[in-house]
Protein backbone atom coordinates (compact mmCIF):
# COMPACT_ATOMS: atom_id res chain seq x y z
CA UNK A 1 0.00 0.00 0.00
CA UNK A 2 1.19 3.54 -0.69
CA UNK A 3 2.32 5.51 2.34
CA UNK A 4 1.05 8.98 3.19
CA UNK A 5 2.65 10.92 6.01
CA UNK A 6 1.72 14.33 7.36
CA UNK A 7 3.01 16.75 9.96
CA UNK A 8 0.82 19.32 11.66
CA UNK A 9 0.59 22.44 9.58
CA UNK A 10 2.30 25.03 11.71
CA UNK A 11 0.84 28.34 12.75
CA UNK A 12 2.54 31.26 11.08
CA UNK A 13 2.20 33.51 14.11
CA UNK A 14 5.74 32.65 15.16
CA UNK A 15 8.98 31.48 13.59
CA UNK A 16 9.92 27.81 13.43
CA UNK A 17 11.62 26.37 16.51
CA UNK A 18 13.10 23.00 17.40
CA UNK A 19 9.70 21.62 18.45
CA UNK A 20 8.40 22.07 14.91
CA UNK A 21 11.72 20.88 13.56
CA UNK A 22 11.57 17.65 15.57
CA UNK A 23 8.20 16.60 14.15
CA UNK A 24 9.23 17.53 10.65
CA UNK A 25 12.56 15.71 10.84
CA UNK A 26 10.88 12.59 12.23
CA UNK A 27 8.39 12.76 9.39
CA UNK A 28 11.20 13.16 6.91
CA UNK A 29 13.08 10.19 8.33
CA UNK A 30 9.95 8.06 8.09
CA UNK A 31 9.19 9.22 4.57
CA UNK A 32 12.73 8.54 3.44
CA UNK A 33 12.69 5.15 5.15
CA UNK A 34 9.55 4.10 3.30
CA UNK A 35 10.91 5.37 0.00
CA UNK A 36 14.04 3.29 0.58
CA UNK A 37 11.90 0.24 1.12
CA UNK A 38 10.43 0.91 -2.31
CA UNK A 39 7.04 2.03 -0.99
CA UNK A 40 5.37 4.81 -2.92
CA UNK A 41 5.35 7.72 -0.49
CA UNK A 42 3.78 11.14 -0.18
CA UNK A 43 5.00 13.45 2.56
CA UNK A 44 2.96 16.58 3.26
CA UNK A 45 3.76 19.51 5.48
CA UNK A 46 2.70 23.14 5.43
CA UNK A 47 1.42 26.17 7.28
CA UNK A 48 -1.81 27.06 9.04
CA UNK A 49 -2.46 30.67 8.20
CA UNK A 50 -5.93 31.78 9.30
CA UNK A 51 -7.20 32.92 12.65
CA UNK A 52 -7.02 35.58 15.26
CA UNK A 53 -3.53 34.74 16.48
CA UNK A 54 -2.05 35.17 13.03
CA UNK A 55 -3.88 38.46 12.51
CA UNK A 56 -2.50 39.72 15.78
CA UNK A 57 1.04 38.67 14.96
CA UNK A 58 0.80 40.50 11.63
CA UNK A 59 -0.47 43.58 13.44
CA UNK A 60 2.44 43.39 15.86
CA UNK A 61 4.88 43.06 12.99
CA UNK A 62 3.26 46.06 11.34
CA UNK A 63 2.59 44.18 8.12
CA UNK A 64 -0.50 43.53 6.03
CA UNK A 65 -1.64 40.04 6.98
CA UNK A 66 -1.06 38.54 3.53
CA UNK A 67 2.46 39.81 3.37
CA UNK A 68 3.08 38.56 6.87
CA UNK A 69 1.81 35.02 6.23
CA UNK A 70 3.80 34.84 3.00
CA UNK A 71 6.91 35.77 4.87
CA UNK A 72 6.56 33.33 7.77
CA UNK A 73 5.34 30.51 5.56
CA UNK A 74 8.42 30.97 3.37
CA UNK A 75 10.56 30.89 6.49
CA UNK A 76 9.13 27.49 7.41
CA UNK A 77 9.85 26.20 3.92
CA UNK A 78 13.41 27.52 4.00
CA UNK A 79 13.95 25.97 7.39
CA UNK A 80 12.82 22.56 6.16
CA UNK A 81 14.98 22.90 3.07
CA UNK A 82 17.97 23.73 5.21
CA UNK A 83 17.32 20.63 7.33
CA UNK A 84 17.21 18.39 4.26
CA UNK A 85 13.51 17.72 4.65
CA UNK A 86 12.21 15.98 1.55
CA UNK A 87 8.52 16.95 1.65
CA UNK A 88 6.55 16.17 -1.50
CA UNK A 89 4.17 19.07 -1.09
CA UNK A 90 3.88 22.12 1.11
CA UNK A 91 0.34 23.20 1.74
CA UNK A 92 -0.87 26.62 2.81
CA UNK A 93 -4.39 27.07 4.14
CA UNK A 94 -4.66 30.38 2.28
CA UNK A 95 -4.26 28.61 -1.10
CA UNK A 96 -7.45 28.71 -3.14
CA UNK A 97 -7.44 24.91 -3.71
CA UNK A 98 -7.55 24.41 0.03
CA UNK A 99 -10.24 27.02 0.58
CA UNK A 100 -12.41 25.30 -2.02
CA UNK A 101 -12.06 21.91 -0.36
CA UNK A 102 -12.97 23.34 3.04
CA UNK A 103 -16.08 24.96 1.63
CA UNK A 104 -17.04 21.82 -0.23
CA UNK A 105 -16.76 19.66 2.88
CA UNK A 106 -18.64 22.22 4.95
CA UNK A 107 -21.47 22.22 2.40
CA UNK A 108 -21.59 18.47 2.30
CA UNK A 109 -21.72 18.07 6.09
CA UNK A 110 -24.25 20.91 6.33
CA UNK A 111 -26.51 19.31 3.74
CA UNK A 112 -26.26 16.00 5.54
CA UNK A 113 -27.66 17.73 8.62
CA UNK A 114 -24.54 17.50 10.75
CA UNK A 115 -24.00 21.25 10.93
CA UNK A 116 -26.66 23.33 12.69
CA UNK A 117 -27.10 26.90 13.90
CA UNK A 118 -27.39 27.58 17.60
CA UNK A 119 -26.42 29.68 20.53
CA UNK A 120 -23.67 28.80 22.90
CA UNK A 121 -22.26 30.39 25.98
CA UNK A 122 -19.01 29.15 27.37
CA UNK A 123 -15.49 29.77 28.51
CA UNK A 124 -13.36 30.84 25.61
CA UNK A 125 -9.58 31.00 25.39
CA UNK A 126 -8.54 33.49 22.73
CA UNK A 127 -5.04 32.00 22.64
CA UNK A 128 -6.38 28.55 21.71
CA UNK A 129 -9.30 29.98 19.79
CA UNK A 130 -11.65 27.50 21.36
CA UNK A 131 -14.22 27.00 24.10
CA UNK A 132 -13.19 25.07 27.17
CA UNK A 133 -15.22 22.90 29.52
CA UNK A 134 -14.72 23.58 33.24
CA UNK A 135 -13.15 20.17 33.69
CA UNK A 136 -10.58 20.82 31.01
CA UNK A 137 -9.20 23.85 32.85
CA UNK A 138 -6.39 23.65 35.35
CA UNK A 139 -7.07 25.76 38.41
CA UNK A 140 -9.58 27.71 36.33
CA UNK A 141 -6.92 28.53 33.73
CA UNK A 142 -6.34 27.41 30.16
CA UNK A 143 -3.76 24.61 30.58
CA UNK A 144 -1.80 25.89 27.61
CA UNK A 145 -1.83 29.66 28.03
CA UNK A 146 -2.21 29.81 31.81
CA UNK A 147 -4.82 32.53 31.39
CA UNK A 148 -8.37 32.66 32.64
CA UNK A 149 -10.77 32.11 29.74
CA UNK A 150 -13.45 34.69 28.97
CA UNK A 151 -17.16 33.92 29.16
CA UNK A 152 -18.58 34.34 25.68
CA UNK A 153 -22.10 33.88 24.39
CA UNK A 154 -22.91 34.03 20.72
CA UNK A 155 -24.78 32.46 17.86
CA UNK A 156 -22.70 30.07 15.83
CA UNK A 157 -22.68 26.96 13.72
CA UNK A 158 -22.09 23.61 15.35
CA UNK A 159 -20.85 20.29 14.09
CA UNK A 160 -22.91 17.41 15.47
CA UNK A 161 -19.84 15.65 16.82
CA UNK A 162 -21.75 14.04 19.68
CA UNK A 163 -23.48 11.84 17.16
CA UNK A 164 -20.22 10.06 16.38
CA UNK A 165 -19.02 9.41 19.90
CA UNK A 166 -20.22 5.79 19.99
CA UNK A 167 -18.79 5.07 16.57
CA UNK A 168 -15.43 6.55 17.57
CA UNK A 169 -15.22 4.53 20.77
CA UNK A 170 -16.03 1.32 18.89
CA UNK A 171 -13.49 2.17 16.22
CA UNK A 172 -10.75 2.72 18.78
CA UNK A 173 -11.64 -0.55 20.46
CA UNK A 174 -11.47 -2.37 17.12
CA UNK A 175 -8.09 -0.86 16.17
CA UNK A 176 -6.15 -0.67 19.41
CA UNK A 177 -2.99 0.79 17.89
CA UNK A 178 -4.78 3.33 15.73
CA UNK A 179 -3.54 6.01 18.12
CA UNK A 180 -0.02 5.26 19.26
CA UNK A 181 1.84 5.08 21.60
CA UNK A 182 -0.81 3.55 23.81
CA UNK A 183 -0.71 6.23 26.52
CA UNK A 184 -2.36 8.68 24.10
CA UNK A 185 -5.01 6.21 23.08
CA UNK A 186 -5.81 5.77 26.76
CA UNK A 187 -6.05 9.52 27.18
CA UNK A 188 -8.53 9.77 24.32
CA UNK A 189 -10.62 6.86 25.58
CA UNK A 190 -10.72 8.41 29.05
CA UNK A 191 -11.92 11.69 27.55
CA UNK A 192 -14.60 9.88 25.58
CA UNK A 193 -15.99 8.30 28.75
CA UNK A 194 -17.78 11.63 29.33
CA UNK A 195 -20.49 12.80 26.93
CA UNK A 196 -18.97 14.42 23.86
CA UNK A 197 -20.34 17.88 23.09
CA UNK A 198 -20.95 19.27 19.66
CA UNK A 199 -18.17 21.37 18.20
CA UNK A 200 -18.60 25.05 17.52
CA UNK A 201 -17.15 25.43 14.03
CA UNK A 202 -17.69 29.08 13.18
CA UNK A 203 -16.71 32.54 14.32
CA UNK A 204 -18.70 35.64 13.46
CA UNK A 205 -16.94 37.58 10.77
CA UNK A 206 -17.26 40.84 12.63
CA UNK A 207 -14.97 39.32 15.28
CA UNK A 208 -12.68 37.41 12.95
CA UNK A 209 -12.22 38.51 9.36
CA UNK A 210 -9.19 36.35 8.55
CA UNK A 211 -10.76 32.99 7.80
CA UNK A 212 -12.67 30.95 5.25
CA UNK A 213 -16.30 32.12 4.85
CA UNK A 214 -18.97 29.49 5.44
CA UNK A 215 -20.48 28.63 2.05
CA UNK A 216 -23.97 28.72 3.54
CA UNK A 217 -23.64 31.87 5.66
CA UNK A 218 -21.32 34.69 4.66
CA UNK A 219 -21.59 36.29 8.08
CA UNK A 220 -19.37 33.58 9.48
CA UNK A 221 -15.94 32.10 8.89
CA UNK A 222 -14.89 28.57 9.84
CA UNK A 223 -13.23 27.83 13.08
CA UNK A 224 -9.48 27.21 12.75
CA UNK A 225 -9.62 23.45 13.25
CA UNK A 226 -12.28 22.75 10.64
CA UNK A 227 -10.12 24.71 8.23
CA UNK A 228 -6.74 23.31 9.29
CA UNK A 229 -7.49 19.59 9.57
CA UNK A 230 -8.86 19.47 6.05
CA UNK A 231 -5.37 20.22 4.72
CA UNK A 232 -4.73 16.50 4.97
CA UNK A 233 -7.34 15.99 2.25
CA UNK A 234 -6.83 19.11 0.16
CA UNK A 235 -3.09 18.40 0.09
CA UNK A 236 -3.87 15.22 -1.87
CA UNK A 237 -6.25 16.87 -4.31
CA UNK A 238 -9.42 15.60 -2.61
CA UNK A 239 -12.02 14.67 -3.79
CA UNK A 240 -11.15 13.80 -7.37
CA UNK A 241 -7.36 13.87 -7.43
CA UNK A 242 -5.41 10.71 -8.19
CA UNK A 243 -3.21 11.49 -5.18
CA UNK A 244 -6.18 11.24 -2.87
CA UNK A 245 -7.25 7.88 -4.22
CA UNK A 246 -3.76 6.48 -4.08
CA UNK A 247 -2.49 7.85 -0.79
CA UNK A 248 -5.43 8.40 1.51
CA UNK A 249 -5.78 4.67 2.32
CA UNK A 250 -2.20 4.80 3.68
CA UNK A 251 -2.57 7.99 5.75
CA UNK A 252 -0.39 8.41 8.83
CA UNK A 253 -0.51 11.60 10.88
CA UNK A 254 2.35 12.74 13.05
CA UNK A 255 1.69 15.25 15.83
CA UNK A 256 2.74 16.16 19.37
CA UNK A 257 0.52 15.67 22.38
CA UNK A 258 -0.64 19.31 22.39
CA UNK A 259 -3.03 18.71 19.52
CA UNK A 260 -4.18 15.21 20.39
CA UNK A 261 -7.83 16.05 20.88
CA UNK A 262 -8.43 17.79 17.55
CA UNK A 263 -6.67 14.95 15.73
CA UNK A 264 -8.10 12.04 17.68
CA UNK A 265 -11.64 13.33 18.11
CA UNK A 266 -12.58 16.23 15.82
CA UNK A 267 -10.78 14.85 12.79
CA UNK A 268 -12.09 11.26 12.65
CA UNK A 269 -15.63 12.41 13.37
CA UNK A 270 -15.34 15.10 10.68
CA UNK A 271 -14.14 12.46 8.23
CA UNK A 272 -16.97 10.17 9.21
CA UNK A 273 -19.53 12.93 8.65
CA UNK A 274 -17.97 13.77 5.29
CA UNK A 275 -18.07 10.12 4.24
CA UNK A 276 -14.30 9.67 4.11
CA UNK A 277 -12.56 6.58 5.50
CA UNK A 278 -10.54 7.11 8.68
CA UNK A 279 -6.76 7.52 8.51
CA UNK A 280 -4.48 4.57 9.32
CA UNK A 281 -2.60 5.87 12.34
CA UNK A 282 -2.26 8.87 14.58
CA UNK A 283 1.28 8.95 15.95
CA UNK A 284 1.83 11.21 18.91
CA UNK A 285 5.09 12.36 20.39
CA UNK A 286 6.00 14.27 23.53
CA UNK A 287 7.45 17.70 24.08
CA UNK A 288 10.97 18.99 24.07
CA UNK A 289 11.48 20.80 27.34
CA UNK A 290 14.12 23.34 28.11
CA UNK A 291 16.00 23.53 31.39
CA UNK A 292 13.59 26.32 32.38
CA UNK A 293 10.57 24.18 31.45
CA UNK A 294 8.48 25.09 28.45
CA UNK A 295 10.00 26.71 25.38
CA UNK A 296 8.33 30.05 24.87
CA UNK A 297 8.89 33.43 23.34
CA UNK A 298 8.34 35.17 26.65
CA UNK A 299 10.99 33.07 28.38
CA UNK A 300 13.37 33.87 25.54
CA UNK A 301 14.49 30.24 25.29
CA UNK A 302 13.24 29.42 21.82
CA UNK A 303 15.85 27.50 19.86
CA UNK A 304 16.10 28.31 16.16
CA UNK A 305 16.71 25.07 14.27
CA UNK A 306 18.57 26.81 11.45
CA UNK A 307 21.05 28.36 13.86
CA UNK A 308 21.52 24.99 15.52
CA UNK A 309 22.15 23.23 12.22
CA UNK A 310 24.55 25.95 11.09
CA UNK A 311 26.53 25.56 14.28
CA UNK A 312 26.53 21.76 14.73
CA UNK A 313 25.65 20.38 11.31
CA UNK A 314 22.31 19.36 9.81
CA UNK A 315 22.81 15.62 10.21
CA UNK A 316 24.16 16.03 13.70
CA UNK A 317 20.93 17.75 14.75
CA UNK A 318 18.78 15.21 12.94
CA UNK A 319 20.62 12.33 14.58
CA UNK A 320 20.27 13.94 18.00
CA UNK A 321 16.51 14.41 17.57
CA UNK A 322 15.95 10.79 16.70
CA UNK A 323 18.44 9.27 19.11
CA UNK A 324 17.59 11.34 22.15
CA UNK A 325 13.80 11.45 22.34
CA UNK A 326 11.78 8.34 23.06
CA UNK A 327 8.80 8.79 20.79
CA UNK A 328 5.81 9.57 22.97
CA UNK A 329 7.71 10.89 25.99
CA UNK A 330 9.01 14.35 26.78
CA UNK A 331 12.73 14.98 26.54
CA UNK A 332 15.11 17.65 27.76
CA UNK A 333 16.86 19.72 25.15
CA UNK A 334 20.32 21.09 25.81
CA UNK A 335 23.30 21.93 23.68
CA UNK A 336 25.46 20.01 26.13
CA UNK A 337 23.49 16.83 25.40
CA UNK A 338 23.72 17.53 21.67
CA UNK A 339 27.48 18.03 21.89
CA UNK A 340 27.91 14.88 23.95
CA UNK A 341 26.03 12.82 21.34
CA UNK A 342 28.03 14.33 18.50
CA UNK A 343 31.37 13.66 20.13
CA UNK A 344 30.63 10.20 21.51
CA UNK A 345 28.39 8.60 18.89
CA UNK A 346 29.30 10.44 15.72
CA UNK A 347 32.89 11.65 15.98
CA UNK A 348 34.19 8.77 18.10
CA UNK A 349 32.25 5.61 17.36
CA UNK A 350 31.09 6.05 13.79
CA UNK A 351 33.52 8.68 12.50
CA UNK A 352 36.57 6.84 13.76
CA UNK A 353 35.41 3.48 12.48
CA UNK A 354 34.93 4.96 9.05
CA UNK A 355 38.20 6.87 9.00
CA UNK A 356 40.26 3.96 10.33
CA UNK A 357 38.80 1.48 7.87
CA UNK A 358 39.22 3.74 4.88
CA UNK A 359 42.72 4.71 5.86
CA UNK A 360 43.76 1.05 6.21
CA UNK A 361 42.19 0.23 2.86
CA UNK A 362 44.27 2.98 1.27
CA UNK A 363 47.41 2.15 3.18
CA UNK A 364 47.36 -1.62 2.58
CA UNK A 365 45.24 -2.02 -0.56
CA UNK A 366 45.70 1.21 -2.56
CA UNK A 367 42.10 2.25 -1.97
CA UNK A 368 40.54 -0.73 -3.72
CA UNK A 369 37.96 -3.07 -2.17
CA UNK A 370 39.85 -6.36 -1.67
CA UNK A 371 38.24 -9.75 -2.44
CA UNK A 372 37.33 -11.63 0.73
CA UNK A 373 38.90 -15.01 1.38
CA UNK A 374 37.27 -17.90 3.21
CA UNK A 375 35.66 -16.37 6.30
CA UNK A 376 36.67 -17.47 9.76
CA UNK A 377 34.36 -17.56 12.77
CA UNK A 378 35.05 -13.91 13.69
CA UNK A 379 34.19 -12.80 10.17
CA UNK A 380 31.01 -14.85 10.10
CA UNK A 381 30.07 -13.20 13.37
CA UNK A 382 30.33 -9.81 11.72
CA UNK A 383 27.99 -10.83 8.90
CA UNK A 384 25.56 -12.39 11.37
CA UNK A 385 25.65 -9.29 13.59
CA UNK A 386 24.88 -7.11 10.56
CA UNK A 387 21.89 -9.24 9.67
CA UNK A 388 20.51 -9.33 13.19
CA UNK A 389 21.01 -5.62 13.61
CA UNK A 390 19.31 -4.80 10.31
CA UNK A 391 16.36 -7.05 11.11
CA UNK A 392 15.86 -5.18 14.39
CA UNK A 393 16.40 -1.79 12.78
CA UNK A 394 13.82 -2.50 10.10
CA UNK A 395 11.37 -3.49 12.77
CA UNK A 396 12.00 -0.65 15.24
CA UNK A 397 12.17 2.22 12.78
CA UNK A 398 8.66 2.10 11.31
CA UNK A 399 7.35 1.34 14.82
CA UNK A 400 8.68 4.80 15.79
CA UNK A 401 11.27 3.29 18.14
CA UNK A 402 14.06 5.45 16.81
CA UNK A 403 16.38 5.40 19.83
CA UNK A 404 16.18 1.61 19.90
CA UNK A 405 16.83 1.32 16.16
CA UNK A 406 19.84 3.61 16.40
CA UNK A 407 21.16 1.97 19.56
CA UNK A 408 21.13 -1.37 17.69
CA UNK A 409 23.01 0.20 14.80
CA UNK A 410 25.56 1.58 17.25
CA UNK A 411 25.98 -1.86 18.82
CA UNK A 412 27.01 -3.03 15.39
CA UNK A 413 29.42 -0.11 15.09
CA UNK A 414 30.87 -1.23 18.42
CA UNK A 415 31.12 -4.77 17.09
CA UNK A 416 33.13 -3.58 14.08
CA UNK A 417 35.40 -1.45 16.27
CA UNK A 418 36.14 -4.51 18.44
CA UNK A 419 36.66 -6.61 15.33
CA UNK A 420 39.41 -4.24 14.25
CA UNK A 421 41.11 -4.54 17.62
CA UNK A 422 40.77 -8.35 17.62
CA UNK A 423 42.00 -8.86 14.07
CA UNK A 424 44.71 -6.17 14.27
CA UNK A 425 44.99 -5.55 10.52
CA UNK A 426 48.25 -3.64 11.12
CA UNK A 427 49.80 -6.90 12.38
CA UNK A 428 48.45 -8.90 9.43
CA UNK A 429 49.91 -6.29 7.09
CA UNK A 430 53.36 -7.07 8.36
CA UNK A 431 53.24 -10.67 7.19
CA UNK A 432 53.01 -11.58 3.52
CA UNK A 433 51.40 -14.98 4.29
CA UNK A 434 48.48 -13.15 5.94
CA UNK A 435 47.62 -11.18 2.80
CA UNK A 436 44.39 -13.14 2.18
CA UNK A 437 43.44 -12.77 5.81
CA UNK A 438 43.96 -9.02 5.62
CA UNK A 439 41.80 -8.90 2.48
CA UNK A 440 39.05 -10.73 4.31
CA UNK A 441 39.15 -8.48 7.36
CA UNK A 442 39.19 -5.29 5.30
CA UNK A 443 36.35 -6.57 3.14
CA UNK A 444 34.21 -7.34 6.18
CA UNK A 445 34.83 -3.89 7.57
CA UNK A 446 33.98 -2.15 4.30
CA UNK A 447 30.91 -4.28 3.78
CA UNK A 448 29.82 -3.51 7.34
CA UNK A 449 30.21 0.19 6.59
CA UNK A 450 28.04 -0.24 3.53
CA UNK A 451 25.24 -1.60 5.73
CA UNK A 452 25.66 1.29 8.13
CA UNK A 453 25.53 3.88 5.35
CA UNK A 454 22.50 2.19 3.80
CA UNK A 455 20.50 2.30 7.03
CA UNK A 456 21.54 5.78 8.07
CA UNK A 457 20.18 7.47 4.96
CA UNK A 458 16.76 8.35 6.43
CA UNK A 459 18.34 9.84 9.53
CA UNK A 460 21.44 11.51 8.10
CA UNK A 461 20.91 11.77 4.35
CA UNK A 462 23.92 13.98 3.64
CA UNK A 463 26.39 11.98 5.71
CA UNK A 464 25.08 8.63 4.47
CA UNK A 465 25.71 9.80 0.92
CA UNK A 466 29.24 10.93 1.84
CA UNK A 467 29.88 7.52 3.36
CA UNK A 468 28.56 5.80 0.29
CA UNK A 469 30.74 8.01 -1.93
CA UNK A 470 33.81 7.09 0.08
CA UNK A 471 32.85 3.44 -0.41
CA UNK A 472 32.81 4.12 -4.14
CA UNK A 473 29.06 3.61 -4.45
CA UNK A 474 27.40 7.01 -4.33
CA UNK A 475 23.65 7.09 -4.85
CA UNK A 476 23.79 3.68 -6.52
CA UNK A 477 23.89 2.15 -3.04
CA UNK A 478 20.15 2.77 -2.82
CA UNK A 479 19.25 1.69 -6.35
CA UNK A 480 17.30 -1.27 -5.01
CA UNK A 481 14.82 -1.58 -2.16
CA UNK A 482 16.55 -1.63 1.20
CA UNK A 483 15.79 -5.31 1.82
CA UNK A 484 17.83 -6.19 -1.29
CA UNK A 485 20.57 -3.69 -0.54
CA UNK A 486 20.99 -5.45 2.80
CA UNK A 487 22.37 -8.73 1.49
CA UNK A 488 25.79 -9.58 2.85
CA UNK A 489 28.48 -9.47 0.16
CA UNK A 490 26.97 -7.00 -2.30
CA UNK A 491 30.03 -4.76 -2.09
CA UNK A 492 32.01 -5.63 -5.19
CA UNK A 493 35.71 -6.39 -4.81
CA UNK A 494 37.85 -4.27 -7.11
CA UNK A 495 35.74 -1.16 -6.61
CA UNK A 496 37.64 2.04 -5.99
CA UNK A 497 37.28 3.77 -2.63
CA UNK A 498 37.45 7.51 -2.26
CA UNK A 499 39.21 9.63 0.32
CA UNK A 500 37.14 12.26 2.04
CA UNK A 501 37.26 14.66 4.96
CA UNK A 502 36.26 13.53 8.45
CA UNK A 503 32.54 12.86 8.51
CA UNK A 504 31.82 14.28 11.94
CA UNK A 505 34.34 16.74 13.37
CA UNK A 506 34.56 16.82 17.14
CA UNK A 507 32.94 19.76 18.88
CA UNK A 508 35.61 21.30 21.05
CA UNK A 509 35.16 23.18 24.30
CA UNK A 510 32.61 20.92 25.97
* Positions marked active-site: 17, 20, 125, 128, 142, 145, 294, 297
For residue 66, what are the CA distances in angstroms to 50, 54, 70, 71?
Answer: 10, 10, 6, 9
Does 239 sit behind a cis peptide bond, omega within 30 degrees of 0 on the bond before it?
Answer: yes
Is residue 48 near ligand MSP by the rule CB under 6 A? yes
Half-sphere exposure of 388 (CA within 13 A, CB side): 13
The span from the CA of 232 to the CA of 501, in Å, is 42
Could you tell me which residues are beta bridge partners of residue 116?
158
Residues 287-316, one symbol each (x = binds ligand MSP by CB under 6 A, - = not), give xx------x---------------------
Q: Helix 18-36 and helix 65-82: axis angle, to 10°?
A: 50
Q: How many residues sit close enough to ligand MSP to count as binding (CB under 6 A)?
A: 19
Spatial neighbors of 489 by CB under 8 A, at least 6 apart, are 372, 447
Task: Single out the residue of 3, 4, 22, 33 in contact with ligand MSP (rule: CB under 6 A).
Answer: 22
Given the rule CB under 6 A, which of 67-75, 226-234, 337-345, 447-455 is the region that contacts ligand MSP?
A: 226-234
Task: Single out the residue of 8, 305, 372, 448 in contact with ligand MSP (rule: CB under 6 A).
Answer: 8
Given the rule CB under 6 A, which of 228-236, 413-421, 448-456, 458-466 is the region that contacts ligand MSP?
A: 228-236
* Residue 509 backbone class (left: φ over 0; alpha: ψ -120 to 50; beta: rest): left
CB of 233 to ligand MSP, least distance (A): 11
CB of 19 to ligand MSP, least distance (A): 2
Residue closest to 129 by CA, chosen among 201, 74, 191, 195: 201
Taking the least distance from each CB to ligand MSP, the nearer of 22 and 159 is: 22
CB of 465 to ligand MSP, least distance (A): 27
CB of 304 to ligand MSP, least distance (A): 13
Spatial neighbors of 170 by CB under 8 A, at least 6 apart, are none
Taking the least distance from each CB to ligand MSP, the nearer of 46 and 372 is: 46
At residue 133, the 3 state secondary structure works out as coil
Is residue 19 near ligand MSP by the rule CB under 6 A? yes
At residue 118, the 3 state secondary structure works out as strand
Q: Closest CB to ligand MSP belongs to which residue?
A: 19
Beta strand ranges found along 187-268 (DSSP E) = 199-200, 202-204, 213-214, 217-222, 251-256
Is residue 256 near ligand MSP by the rule CB under 6 A? yes
Is residue 20 near ligand MSP by the rule CB under 6 A? yes
Taking the least distance from each CB to ligand MSP, the nearer of 274 and 360 is: 274
Taking the least distance from each CB to ligand MSP, the nearer of 16 and 351 is: 16
Task: Single out the residue of 99, 200, 212, 229 in contact with ligand MSP (rule: CB under 6 A).
Answer: 229
For residue 108, what are the CA distances in angstroms to 226, 233, 254, 275, 419?
Answer: 13, 14, 27, 9, 65
Binding site for ligand MSP (CB under 6 A): 8-11, 19-20, 22-23, 48, 228-229, 231, 255-256, 258-259, 287-288, 295
Amino acid sequence: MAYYLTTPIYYVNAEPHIGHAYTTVVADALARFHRLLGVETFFLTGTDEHGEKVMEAAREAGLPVREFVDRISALFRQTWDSLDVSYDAFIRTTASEHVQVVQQVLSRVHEAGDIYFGEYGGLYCFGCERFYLERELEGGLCPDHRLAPTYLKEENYFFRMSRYQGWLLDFIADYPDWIRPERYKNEVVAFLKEPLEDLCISRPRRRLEWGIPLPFDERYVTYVWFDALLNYLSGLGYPEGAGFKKFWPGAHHLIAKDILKPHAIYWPTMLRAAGVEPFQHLQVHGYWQMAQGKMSKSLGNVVDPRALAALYGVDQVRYFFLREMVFGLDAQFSEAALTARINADLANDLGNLFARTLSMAFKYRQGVVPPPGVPQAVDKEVAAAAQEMAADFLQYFPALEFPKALARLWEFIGHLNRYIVNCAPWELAKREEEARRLDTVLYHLLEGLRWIAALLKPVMPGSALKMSEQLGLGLALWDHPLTQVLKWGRLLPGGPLKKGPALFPRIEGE
